[in-house]
A = this chain, B = another copy of it.
Amino acid sequence: MFVLDRYGRTPIYEQLIEQVELHVLNGTLQPQDMLPSVRTLAVQLGINPNTLQKAYAELERRGICTSVPGSGRFVAADARQRIAGDRRAQMSTLAQMVRELAAASIPLPEIVACVEAAYQGAAAQAAEGGKRL
């Protein structure tokens, strides 16, 4: 359910945040679902519980999940909307990347084709995920 890159530059806790969000977006994690507990998932991934705690705390700060001490941690009802909102704001990053490609004289159609292909691929995968529900 979670795959970590131990050697990249992105911290583990950010990778965890990213992956939880992706699971929420593609429906693997639904509202009210319980997230794996700090201890069990830490053991399963071979990382320190504190690292996981940090990721969960950040997810909670973003309103993507809520914690119930003694019981567990659950996906918020409006988690998907919150994440989608954040992603929309992220589009400025996409724009920056496109500007750099433009500076490299990479033709616009090539970029657009790449974008559309990626989008179609993701949409297909989402449809796959939908069947599982």
- Which residues of A come within 8 Å of B, CB atoms? 22, 25-26, 83-84, 87-88, 90-91, 93-106, 108, 111-112, 114-119, 121-123, 126
Contact = CB atoms under 8 A, between A and B. Distances in A.
B114 A95 contact: yes
Contact of A94 (B22, B98, B123): B98
A112 to B, nearest CB: 6
Top 9 closest pairs, chain A to chain B, by CB? A102-B122, A95-B118, A87-B104, A99-B122, A98-B118, A25-B103, A84-B104, A102-B119, A108-B119
A110 to B, nearest CB: 8
B108 A83 contact: no
Contacts of A84: 104-106
Contacts of A83: 104
> How many identical chains are in the complex?
2
B111 A126 contact: no
Nearest to A9: B9
Nearest to A124: B102
Given A22-B100, A94-B98, A94-B101, A115 B115 contact: yes
